[in-house]
Amino acid sequence: MKSLDRREFLTRVAGGTSALAAVGIHAPGRAEASGARGTPGVDGRAARPAAGLADPALRPLPLGSIRPRGWLGRQLRIQADGLSGHLDEFWPDVASSQWFGGDAEGWERAPYWMDGVVALAWTLDDEGLKGKVSEHVDQIVRAQRADGRYGPVAASTGSRPYDVWAVFLANKMLVQYHEATGDDRVLRAVEASLRELGTGMEDTPLFDWGKYRWFEGLVATYYVYERTGEPWLLDLARMMRDQGTDYPAIYAGESITSPTPRRGRWTWDKHVVNTAMALKAGALSWRLDQQHADRDFPALMLSILDRYHGQVTGMFTGDECLAGRNPIQGTELCSVVECMYSLETLAAVFGEPAWADRLERVAFNALPATFKPDMWAHQYDQQVNQVQCTINPDAMWTTNGPDSNIYGLAPNYGCCTSNMHQGWPKLAAHLWMATPDDGLAAVAYAPSEASFRSHDVPVKVTLDTDYPFRETLDIEVRPERAVTFPLLLRVPGWADGASVRVAGGAPETMRAGTLHRLERRWGAGPTTVEVRLPMRPRVTVRYNDAIAVERGPLVYSLGLDETWTRVRADAPQRGLPHGDFEVRPASDWNYGLVLDPESPEDGLSFEERPVGERPFSPEGAGVRARVRGRKMPDWKIEHGWAGEIAPGRRSSTEPLEEVELIPYGCTNVRVTEFPRLEA
Ligand SMILES: [Zn+2]
C-alpha cells in the first residue's frame, strides 16, 4: 500500500486535491464508469446542494429494503439467536437500563444495543425482535420530557453538566426506526430532542464524548432536515461542528503518528473508537458546504492510520488508544463496527468504490474473527497474531485490562457488549444503494435481495453468491414491467480482469477500481447478470518485514487446533449459553513461510470447500490455502502472547512442511503475519 509523506498529506489537505487515488486505499479514487458506453459514473455529476444540504452520491435504500440470502442469511440468524437477540433478557445494563425505567446503566449502553438491533430486526424481518424493539422505542418516546430531552438525565449525572453523546446516539437509532416503520411520533420526538440539544448547547458547549463525537449528531439532524426542510436544523449542524473536535488539526500534528506506549496514557485524540467514528466526519461535514478539505480529509486520515497503526485486516490498532503496527497489539470491537459504519457513510456520500473495498476488508476479516462462531461471546481486543486468549496479567496493551482478548460476555468493559450488534446488519443494509438517476448500485457484495422503485416501477434484484469465498456473482434483475435504468457494479481495486455477462451475451471486461455502469431497458422477466471478479493471491510485507497472504477481500491465517476453557463463575442465566472462555492453541503456531512477495502465486494454492452452516468458523471455512513453511523453535510466547517478530529474512533448519491457511475471519486463534524464510 502506498503512502504519502506527511508534508504531501498536508499540502493536499490545503490544496483540495483528491488524495484517495494517491494514497491507494486500493483503487483509483473517484467513481468512474468503465466499459464501452463510457458514460460518467455517479461522481461525474456535480453535487447538487439540495436546499442547503448536498445530496450523497449514492443513497442507502430504506431500512428493510435489503434482505440477506445464503451465507449472510445464516450469519444474521446466528446473530439474532446469539447475544444480540437475547441481551435484553439478562444483561443488567440493557435489561434494567434506566432508559427502560430500570436502575442499571443509563447512558450509552441501551441505545448502542438498539442501534444494532433495529437494523437486525428489520433486515431479517424478524417479528419477535421487531416487537421487542418497538416496545423499547415506545418507552423512550413516552418518557420524553416536555422540553424535548429524553433519557435518564438527572439520575445519571447528578449536578454535573450532561454529556449529550448518548442523546446523539439515541437519535441516530431512532431515525433508523422511523425509516423502517414510518412512525411519525418518533420523527417528532427526534425533532423535539434536536431543538432541545440546540438550546442546551448555547449554554453548555459540547465537551468530552459529545465534543469528540459531534458528527454523530449530524446523522439524525440531516435525517430530520431531509423530511422537514427546517433551516434551523442546518444551523444546529454547524453549531455541532463548531463546538466539536477539529480532527484535521489533530492529524496535522505529530502526536498521532506514534504508538501509545504500552501501559501508557489514555488520550481523547488517540482513542480508537473516537478515531473509527471520526473517519466519516469529513463526509458528513462536506454535505453542509462542499469544502474540498472535507472531501479529502477522510482518505488522508485513513492513510496516516494505515501508515502508523494499520493492520492487514483493514483496521488499525487501539487497545485502547492507537497502538502502532505491531500485530500483537489489539483492535477493539467497537472500533471495528464503527469503522464499518464510517466506511458505509463514505461510500454513500462520495460514491467512491475504494471505500467499499475497505468496508469489505474489515467486514469479512476483522468483524467475524472477534466473535465466538455462535456469536454468544466476543472479544474486547483482537490481535492479528493471536495465538492464545487468556486472562493475562502480563498483557502489554496500552491501557486495557488483562482479560481484553478472551471471548466473553463483557471482557474488559461493557461497551463492546452493547455496541457490537450494528456490524452485520448495517453491512447488509448498505450492500445496495440508489443512484440519483433512478438506478441501483451494487456497493458491496454478499448474498442478498434488494427491492426498490425505478420510475415508479417496483424492481427486485437478487444476488446469489458465496463471495467472498468465491469469484462469481449471479445477479438477477426482475422489474414488474419493462423499465430503463442503470445498474452500477463496483469493481474492486484488486479485481484486474473482471468481467460481466448480461442475459447470456458476450462477456464484457470491467476496469478495476470503478463503478461499472450497465444502462439498459430491463425486460419484465428476469435478466441475468453474471459477474466474475478474479482473485489473484497477494503476499504483502508488513511490520518488521513479516509477510501476510491475501486474496480478493480475504486475509489468510494459520488456523490452530483450539482448547476452550470456561473461566469465572459466570453461571449462564435462564439457560442461555453465554459465558467467558479462554482459548489456547492445541497445535504448533510458530511457523515461518517460504513465499516471495514479488511472485505470490509460486508456492500458494487455494482449494474451495462448501461454506459451512457457520460461515465464519474454522470448520466452516469455504476456502483454504496451502503454502510451505518451517517451524521456528526460537519464536516463543512472550508476555503471554506470540513474541514480536524480528526484522529481516529468517532461516530455520526444521523440515519443510505443507501448511494450511484459512480465512482470518474463520479463526479464533491464529498467526497472520509470518516471518519470511529464505527459500
Ligand atoms: Zn468497546
Residue pLDDT, tens place only, 430-450: 999 999 999 999 999 999 999
Q: Give residue 27's pLDDT.
A: 33
Computed over every residue of the chain, the mean pLDDT equals: 92
Mean pLDDT along residues 144-170:
83
Q: Please say whether the dihedral angle defined by the alpha carbons of residues 274, 279, 280 and 281, taken in this order, is positive or negative.
A: positive
List the one residue out of 220, 285, 221, 273 whose CA is nearest residue 248: 285
In the predicted structure, residue 465 carries a pLDDT above the cut 70: yes
Q: Give residue 94's pLDDT.
A: 97
CA of 111 to the centre of ligand 1 (A): 14
Q: Give residue 262's pLDDT.
A: 85
User: CB-based contacts of 158: which residues, under 8 Å, 6+ apart?
Assistant: none
List the one residue out of 488, 493, 425 whose CA is nearest residue 118: 425
Produce one character per residue of 370-381: b if its CB has 16 or more CB atoms within 10 Å, e if not.
bbbbebbbbbbb
Q: Give residue 136's pLDDT.
A: 97
Half-sphere exposure (Cβ direction) of 607: Cα atoms closer than 13 Å: 8
Q: Give residue 255's pLDDT.
A: 93
CA of 411 to the centre of ligand 1 (A): 10
Say if CB 233 and CB 225 are below 8 A apart: yes
Q: How far apart are CA 109 and CA 419, in angstroms?
A: 7
Sorting pLDDT into bands at 50, 70 and 90, what band is 679?
confident
CA of 623 to the centre of ligand 1 (A): 30
Please state the separation of Cα 231 from the chain's center in Å. Answer: 32
CA of 412 to the centre of ligand 1 (A): 9
In the predicted structure, residue 142 carries a pLDDT above the cut 70: yes
Residue pLDDT, tens place only, 312-349: 999 999 999 999 999 999 999 999 999 999 999 999 99
% of the chain with per-residue pLDDT over 90: 87
Residue pLDDT, tens place only, 645-673: 999 989 999 999 999 999 999 999 999 99
CA of 416 to the centre of ligand 1 (A): 3
Q: Which residue has the higher pLDDT, 557 or 20?
A: 557
CA of 139 to the centre of ligand 1 (A): 26
DSSP 227-272: HH--THHHHHHHHHHHHS--HHHHHTSSGGGSPPPTT----STTBH
CA of 669 to the centre of ligand 1 (A): 20
CA of 50 to the centre of ligand 1 (A): 36
In the predicted structure, residue 204 carries a pLDDT above the cut 50: yes
Sorting pLDDT into bands at 50, 70 and 90, what band is 157?
low
Sorting pLDDT into bands at 50, 70 and 90, what band is 26?
very low
How much is the CA Rg of the chain, to the nearest whole Å? Answer: 24
- Output DSSP code: residue 141: H
User: CB-based contacts of 21: which residues, under 8 Å, 6+ apart?
Assistant: 27, 28, 29, 30
Q: How many CB atoms lie within 10 A of CB 538?
A: 16
% of the chain with per-residue pLDDT over 70: 91
CA of 31 to the centre of ligand 1 (A): 33
**Strand, coil or helix: what is 352?**
coil
Residue pLDDT, tens place only, 520-547: 999 998 999 999 999 999 999 999 999 9
Sorting pLDDT into bands at 50, 70 and 90, what band is 388?
very high
Say if CB 440 and CB 454 are below 8 A apart: yes
CA of 322 to the centre of ligand 1 (A): 14
Say if CB 27 and CB 357 are below 8 A apart: yes
Q: Give residue 154's pLDDT.
A: 59
Beta bridge mates, 608 = 623
Q: Give residue 440's pLDDT.
A: 98
In the predicted structure, residue 622 carries a pLDDT above the cut 90: yes
Mean pLDDT along residues 130-136:
97
CA of 319 to the centre of ligand 1 (A): 10
> How much is the pTM?
0.93
Instruction: Please give the grid coordinates belonging to residue 584.
Output: 489456547
Residue pLDDT, tens place only, 221-269: 999 999 999 999 999 999 999 999 999 999 999 999 999 988 888 999 9
In the predicted structure, residue 14 carries a pLDDT above the cut 60: no
Q: Give residue 653's pLDDT.
A: 96
CA of 148 to the centre of ligand 1 (A): 29
Q: Give residue 131's pLDDT.
A: 98
Residue pLDDT, tens place only, 471-512: 999 999 999 999 999 999 999 999 999 999 999 999 999 999
CA of 533 to the centre of ligand 1 (A): 34
CA of 383 to the centre of ligand 1 (A): 15
CA of 92 to the centre of ligand 1 (A): 17
Residue pLDDT, tens place only, 590-619: 999 999 999 999 999 999 999 999 999 999
Residue for grid cell 446516539: 169
Mean pLDDT along residues 575-598:
95
Q: How far apart are CA 6 and CA 397, in angstroms?
A: 27
Say if CB 495 and CB 512 are below 8 A apart: yes
573: alpha, beta or left? (left if phi > 0; alpha if psi -120 to 50): beta
Q: Give residue 573's pLDDT.
A: 66
Q: How far apart are CA 534 and CA 536, in angstroms?
A: 6
List the one residue out of 405, 295, 300, 411 whose CA is nearest residue 351: 295
DSSP 564-631: EEEESS-PPGGG----EEEEEESS---EEE---TTSTTTT-EEEE-PPPSSTTSTTT-SEEEEEEEEE
Residue for grid cell 493492520: 311
Beta bridge mates, 321 = 271
CA of 35 to the centre of ligand 1 (A): 43
CA of 419 to the centre of ligand 1 (A): 7
Mean pLDDT along residues 157-179:
90
CA of 318 to the centre of ligand 1 (A): 11
Q: Give residue 351's pLDDT.
A: 98
CA of 233 to the centre of ligand 1 (A): 30
**Strand, coil or helix: what is 552?**
coil
